[in-house]
């Protein structure tokens, strides 16, 4: 009986230790500054599929689905930079033209290199906290260092022709040094616009946007 009880409590102790360890890993900032592993990138690319009109995407190995809320970002290790935290804590009711603000990935020593621009809105009549706001606009730029993947394996190095071939329901512009492709989402209230460098022919920024 004593041996059975000992085995039972030892098993419970092992399970408890594993749960605590997993929880601690999930809540702590990544020690590598948020740089994804090859395994994370491969799994994210597989999860995205091939339809860019789904408006799903992966940043640094985590998969997101637009339209989305600020909390979808903060739950995945993003935070508002210090200037935003001091100037914008809540959104009044019926705020449709909020300023675009910066969010950054957390790292072990504070903010990481990865950042993006977001524009939160509040269509309700009551004031809400910034974390509960919906995102009207979300923009990633190549210069801000995110490891970004779109469906069909689209990355920063994908060309204008490659993206055009991978997209349905698209509008393309290539004139006077301006190159971009806009794709309507499966819900046509939302779009993603992919901008290209006119010389290098590769992606410079990706912008998700809703309709007010």
Which DSSP string do the residues of 114-152 spell out, in sequence order? EEEEEEEEB-SSS-EEGGGPEEEEEEEEGGG---EEBGG
Domain co-membership, 19 together with 53? no
User: Are residues 89 and 42 part of one domain?
Assistant: yes
**Each residue's pLDDT tens digit, 136-162:** 999 999 988 778 899 999 999 999 999
Lowest mean pLDDT among 29-33, 73-77, 200-204: 29-33
Residues 56 and 20 in one domain: no
Whether residues 103 and 12 share a domain: the answer is no
Q: Does one domain contain both 38 and 64?
A: yes
What is d(CA 194, CA 149) in angstroms, rounded to the nearest whole number? Answer: 12
Whether residue 34 is predicted with pLDDT greater than 70 in this model: the reply is no
Q: Residue 46's closest CA among 61, 28, 29, 31?
A: 61
Same-domain check for residues 97 and 1: no
Output the six-digit token pair for 45. 């690319």
Given a cut of 80, is residue 111 above it in pLDDT?
Answer: no
Do 110 and 192 lie in one domain? The reply is yes
Residue 79 sits in the same domain as residue 102: yes
Nearest to 148 by CA among 106, 207, 93: 207
Non-local (6+) Cβ contacts of 119 within 8 A are 98, 99, 100, 101, 135, 136, 137, 138
pTM of the predicted structure, to 2 decimals: 0.77
Reported as a pLDDT band with limits 50, 70 and 90, residue 29 is very low
Report the number of distinct structural domains present in the chain: 2
Kindly state whether residues 201 and 161 are assigned to the same domain.
yes
pLDDT (tens digit per residue) in 40-85 = 778 888 889 889 999 999 988 889 999 999 999 999 889 887 666 6
Is 14 in the same domain as 68? no
Same domain, 183 and 202: yes
Q: Which residue has the higher pLDDT, 177 or 107?
A: 177
Which residue range forms the structural domain that includes residue 11? 1-29
Average pLDDT on 101-118 reads 78
Residues 107 and 54 occupy one common structural domain: yes
């Amino acid at each position: 009986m004593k041996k059975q009880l000992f085995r039972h409590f030892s098993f419970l102790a092992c399970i408890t230790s594993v749960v605590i360890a997993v929880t601690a890993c999930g809540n702590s900032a990544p020690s590598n500054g948020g740089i994804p592993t090859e395994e994370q990138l491969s799994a994210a690319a597989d999860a995205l599929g091939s339809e860019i009109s789904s408006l799903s995407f992966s940043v640094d190995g985590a998969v997101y689905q637009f339209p989305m809320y600020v909390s979808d970002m903060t739950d995945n290790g993003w935070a508002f930079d210090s200037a935003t935290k001091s100037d914008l804590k809540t959104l009044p009711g019926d705020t449709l033209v909020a300023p675009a603000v910066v969010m950054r990935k957390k790292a072990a020593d504070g903010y990481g290199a990865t950042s993006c621009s977001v524009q939160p809105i509040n269509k309700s009549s009551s004031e809400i906290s910034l974390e509960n706001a919906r995102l009207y606009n979300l923009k990633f730029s190549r210069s801000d260092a995110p490891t970004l993947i779109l469906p069909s394996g689209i990355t920063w190095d994908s060309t204008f022709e490659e993206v055009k071939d991978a997209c349905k329901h698209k509008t393309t512009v290539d004139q006077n040094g301006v190159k971009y492709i806009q794709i309507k989402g499966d819900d046509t209230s939302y779009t993603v616009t992919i901008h290209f460098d006119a010389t290098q022919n590769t992606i410079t920024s990706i912008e998700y946007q809703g309709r007010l």
